[in-house]
Amino acid sequence: MIVVAREQYQAALDELRAAVVALGEMAIDQLEDGLRALETGDADLAREVIDGDGAINDRYLAIEDECIDLLALQQPVASDLRFVAASFKICTDLERVGDLATNLGEYALSTDGNAGEPDVQAIGEDARDQLRAALDAYQHGDAAACRTVAARDDDLDALCQRASERVVRDLLEREAGDDAWASERILDDVSRVLLTLRDLERVGDHAVNVAARSLYMLESDSELLY
Amino acid sequence: MQALDGVSMEIPAEQVTAMIGPSGCGKSTFLRCINRMNDLVEAARIEGELLFDGKNVYDGDVDPVALRRHIGMVFQHPNPFPKSIYDNVAYGLRVQNDTDNMDERVEEALKRAALWDEVSDQLDKSALDLSGGQQQRLCIARAIAVDPNVILMDEPASALDPIATSKIEDLIEELAEDYTVIIVTHNMQQAARISDKTAVFLTGGELVEFDDTETIFENPEYQRVEDYITGKFG
């Protein structure tokens, strides 16, 4: 029978895991709301997303404090050490996803509700699914899922790349066919779509980071870190 | 009863090797095997080989007293002789009738033990008047005065306050530039801080894992070691 000593310490580790997962849920909610605001042009929802970033930042800082307290006061070792180190890094990625969701809210406010690029929603859902899978892998300690997230990132990158090229190609073709067309408004729309695609691609990168740190946590394997 | 079982390890020269494990796991018993301190325990029986520079220290032609000149020892509680600071350090040299340049060698040993600056103007003072931390460094100076190859330390800082402990820890790292240091400690953070290699003994006198200290504390191979160092034990 395994006797678990240091019960408060074990409870603190469990609480840290729950706090990181909760931060991840908040980031995913923000991402989904940002995508919906972009799709529908719902200005109230967009402002909610922008205002909601403060809560994510607060929780992120609280998790950092908790990690530092655990390191200073409990001196975790072995798998516990890797768990705290991974959590410390993962919460930064999740906070950055919150910032990117805020960007989506900003883009939604600067358009009339038509982002002009149908791929954005599908790509956004892919990025969200990647983040969800990485967070689940962290929560449940699933090393195989970590590797799957990393492998799938190339697909997301390719989707973003193709969508960006299409947007630029459309712009060039329209410019060639219509001399009077080159209005600042359309350029703004194109820039916004490109920025949106870049941000969603970065959400995917953060999902990979979460998976990479989780794999290190589980197997002391840094193969996915770069 | 069998105190040790399945202990096979290669202790690197001029590095710090730490031995950790729960009380009664045999780590101190093993430490005392290295310079045959267990010879003093009646009814103790030893099987196997313990090679020092390729020579089995349990061979019949090995003189345990001579062996201990090469493999010195520092204990948990500082045990200076009730003599002056100078005489404590000079003791081993006098016993060996090796008294050339005595003053220089006493000074050198005290410097190496990071005690010289604190006692250089009071060498005639009784060693018993020193603080606990100073007494322990004096015992280290006494051990290194005879220029051993190996220094065994059995919980050398467990009776000391944090400041005295950190002085001993700094000293151990410096000593490892010239000596092989083997330390038994109950303080796992101390083992992590100062050692290059760590051996984990668990109940029954079994050496379960021996590896680089980073590996033991970041990613041990055996679940029993993981459970022990993270505070779960069965």
Neighbours of A157 (CB within 10 A): 14
| Count of CA atoms in the C-beta half-sphere (13 A) of A89 | 19
Residue pLDDT, tens place only, B129-163:
999 999 999 999 999 999 999 999 999 998 888 98
CATH code for B16-76+149-229? 3.40.50.300
- What is the share, in percent, of chain B residues with pLDDT greater than 90? 82
Note the pLDDT of residue A116: 54
pLDDT band with cut points at 50, 70 and 90 for residue A114: low
Closest CB to A78 among B189, B229, B234: B229
* pLDDT of A180 above 60: no
| Least confident span in A120-124, A179-183, B81-85 | A179-183
Burial of A143 (0-12, 13-18, 19+ CB in 10 A): middle
Q: Which two tokens stand for residue A36?
A: 């919906």
Q: Which residue has the tokens 């033990």?
A: B113
Closest CB to B217 among A2, A4, A78: A78
Q: In what order do the strands lie in the sheet with B206-212?
A: B71-74, B150-154, B180-184, B16-20, B197-202, B206-212
Whose CA is closest to A118, among A174, A155, A170, A154? A170
Q: Determine the residue of chain B that is closest to A80 in CA distance.
A: B230
Q: Mapping DSSP to helix (H, G, I), strand (E, B) and coil, where does residue A137 land?
A: helix
Q: How far is C-alpha B183 from the geometric centre of its chain's CA atoms?
A: 5
- Paired residues of B71 in beta bridges: B150
Mean pLDDT, rounded, of chain A = 91
Return the number of CB contacts < 8 Å for A and B.
43
pLDDT band with cut points at 50, 70 and 90 for residue B12: very high
Burial of A114 (0-12, 13-18, 19+ CB in 10 A): exposed
Q: Which two tokens stand for residue B78?
A: 């500082």
Average pLDDT of span A142-170: 94
* pLDDT of A176 above 60: no
- Give chain B's count of helices (H) and strands (E): 10, 9
Query: B77-108: buried (b, 16+ CB within 10 Å) or exposed (e) per residue?
Result: ebebeeebbbbbbbbbbeeeeeeeeeeebbbb
Question: Inter-chain contact A4–B232, Cβ cutoff 8 Å?
Answer: yes
pLDDT band with cut points at 50, 70 and 90 for residue A2: low
* pLDDT of A177 above 60: no
| DSSP 3-state percent helix, strand, coil across chain B (nearest 5) | 40, 20, 40
β pairing state of B55-56 and B51-52: antiparallel
- Chain A contacts in chain B segment 139-198 (CB below 8 A): 188-189, 192
Domains and CATH numbers, chain A: 7-219 (1.20.58.220)
Note the pLDDT of residue A112: 63
Tell me the domain boundaries of chain B.
16-76+149-229
Note the pLDDT of residue A221: 87
Give contacts of A5 with chain B, Cβ < 8 Å: 231-233
Question: pTM for this one?
Answer: 0.83
